[in-house]
Amino acid sequence: MSEPSVTIFDLSNLISPSVPNTKQYPHVLGFSLSPNRQWIAAEATDTGFDDAEGFITVISTSDYTFKNLQTTSTGRGSAHNLWGVTWSPDSTKVLFTRAQKIWTVNFNDTGLQRLTEGYAPQWSPDGRHIAFLRSPTQGVYELWVMKVEPA
């Protein structure tokens, strides 16, 4: 049996959008590999968590270059409001939660769109629906499914 192929990505060189041209040592909170395996979307913060600005960075799996996507910044201390990054089945959009609202942004960093309120979004395998959670009252959780309009 052969060893599996493993690639290690050094995420210490990501650049924070709030402090451009300055090397930051971000805290990576989560990540998602695109279905076509060409990109990784990483949820990261630029500094310590309590006073951090959250951002999404897309990293190429072939040449390790990266770019930051627009994510409706809510300012310093907002890192804990950004989470749940996941790719559309065709690898063209990133879905994420910021401040209990679900957003999509195109991979080419255009088309930022707020879809609804909720969190923990997931695409359906065919890309036509998004499942997500809502909590109308504390301790009560509802699973919602919404249709996604084609671009």
Q: For residue 37, which phi and psi values (nearest 5 degrees)?
A: 60, 20
pLDDT of residue 69: 80
Distance separating alpha carbons of residues 49 and 139, to the nearest angstrom: 26
CA 102 to chain centroid, in Å, comes to 11
Structure tokens at 16: 């924070």
Sign of CA dihedral 108, 111, 115, 117: positive
Question: What average pLDDT does this structure show over 78-101?
Answer: 83
CA 99 – CA 146 distance, rounded (Å):
19
Give the pLDDT confidence score for residue 91 in this predicted structure: 94
- Residue range 33-87, pLDDT digits in tens: 999 989 988 887 766 555 566 778 888 888 877 788 876 555 544 545 677 889 9
Q: Beta partners for 94?
A: 87, 105
Contact 39, 91 (CB under 8 A): yes
Give all domains of the chain, ordered by start, each with its CATH number: 11-147 (2.120.10.30)
φ/ψ (deg, to 5) at 80: -70, -10
Q: Calculate Rg over the CA atoms of the chain.
A: 16
Question: What is the per-residue pLDDT for 62?
Answer: 83
Task: Check pLDDT > 70 for residue 146.
Answer: yes
Q: What is the pLDDT of residues 113-141, one digit of tens each?
A: 899 999 899 999 999 999 999 988 888 88
Residue 80 pLDDT: 55
pLDDT in tens, 11-35: 655 554 444 444 454 667 788 999 9
